[in-house]
Amino acid sequence: MSFANPQLLWLLLVVPAVGAWTWWRFGREGGLRYSDVDPVQGAPTAWTVRWRWTPAALRMGALVLGVLALARPQTEATTKTETAEGIDIMLVLDASSSMQAEDFQPTRFEAAREAASSFVEGRVSDRVGLIVFAAEAYTQTPLTLDYGFLQRMLDEVEIGAVEDGTAVGTGLATAVNRLKDSEAESKVAILLTDGRNNRGQIDPRTAAEVAATMDVRVYAIGVGSTEETGVETGPTPSEQQGGGSVDAKMLRAVSATTGGQYFSATNRDALERIYAEIDTMEAAPVDERIYTDRTERYPWFLLPALGLVLLEVGLSTTLFRRFP
């Protein structure tokens, strides 16, 4: 509870002064003179005499409550809202047979699926969809805010659902097609693969050029073991030698064309760090607003104060009436 006029609480200092003055006045009040009081010396003292200070105490209580009411006590109910202008994200997941390699625990595909699932869990107001590709590409989940549904559809993805192969260009083009009508301020495709484009009619670089014209940024992730570990964005030893299963040169070109970035993940931890880094790079500004609803509570004090005043007046004119 707070007070709108806390400076008025200084008036509470008057209450002890009024109490002291009342006590002093009681001590100086005169009485009736009698020629002989011996016959009543042993008479019992009436309870009204013992409690004669009650009206004064009621007056003090009313004064305290009145001051508190003047200070305007209030209770506050605070509501905090956080809103963010969401972005649209398409996850493009390689489901070719090579993703069953066990250099990631338990497999590349399972590690990629779990990393993507953790990424989805961190969304707040972003629409996320899922494209799966092998020799062909298909939409597993369109853009949605229903993250629970997306998680279930991600769990249902299986290798072998379509003909084997690695149609990177087709998968990326399908994601761009899903994002073309988006009105989001930021449109992102996260492409994850462990191979080279060997199927489909669309070259990945062509798909990247189309993505650039539609303001879609592509973050490409190459998955697979190399001579080095961790996350790195420069040429890998396998790439420099012209070998390796991941076409890092192509993925780097795709991401550079769209203003994105290429990452190479050689273990499960590196893959999780990559998604965390992408999350940081695509974080939308959060608009935080705090609403405070104040409710006046002076009746809690004013009404009891009036009650005490009425009780004090009533007792002073009846049970505790004094003569003269």
Overall residue count recorded for the chain in this entry? 324
- Residue 275 in any domain: the answer is yes
pLDDT band with cut points at 50, 70 and 90 for residue 46: low
- Residue 289 in any domain: the answer is no
Most confident range (mean pLDDT) of 18-22, 192-196, 319-323 is: 192-196
- Residue 114 in any domain: the answer is yes
Same-domain pairing of 104 and 236: yes
- Residue 91 in any domain: the answer is yes
- Domain carrying residue 198: 86-284
Say what the pLDDT of residue 226 is: 44
**Cα gap 204→172, rounded to integer Å:** 7
Express each pLDDT in 64-111 by its tens digit. 998 999 898 998 888 877 666 678 999 999 999 999 998 888 899 999
Same-domain pairing of 163 and 267: yes
Same-domain pairing of 183 and 308: no
Does pTM surpass 0.85? no
- Residue 323 in any domain: the answer is no
For the chain, what is the total number of helices (H) and then of strands (E)? Answer: 11, 10
Same-domain pairing of 26 and 173: no
Same-domain pairing of 122 and 249: yes
Look-up of token digits 């309870």: 47
Express each pLDDT in 128-167 by its tens digit. 999 999 999 999 999 999 999 999 999 999 999 899 999 9
Say what the pLDDT of residue 281 is: 83
Same-domain pairing of 189 and 280: yes
Same-domain pairing of 166 and 70: no
Q: How many domains does the chain have?
A: 2
**Cα gap 252→304, rounded to integer Å:** 77
- Residue 160 in any domain: the answer is yes
User: How big is the CA angle at 71 (ends 65 and 76), to the nearest 5 degrees?
Assistant: 105
- Residue 324 in any domain: the answer is no
Same-domain pairing of 63 and 163: no
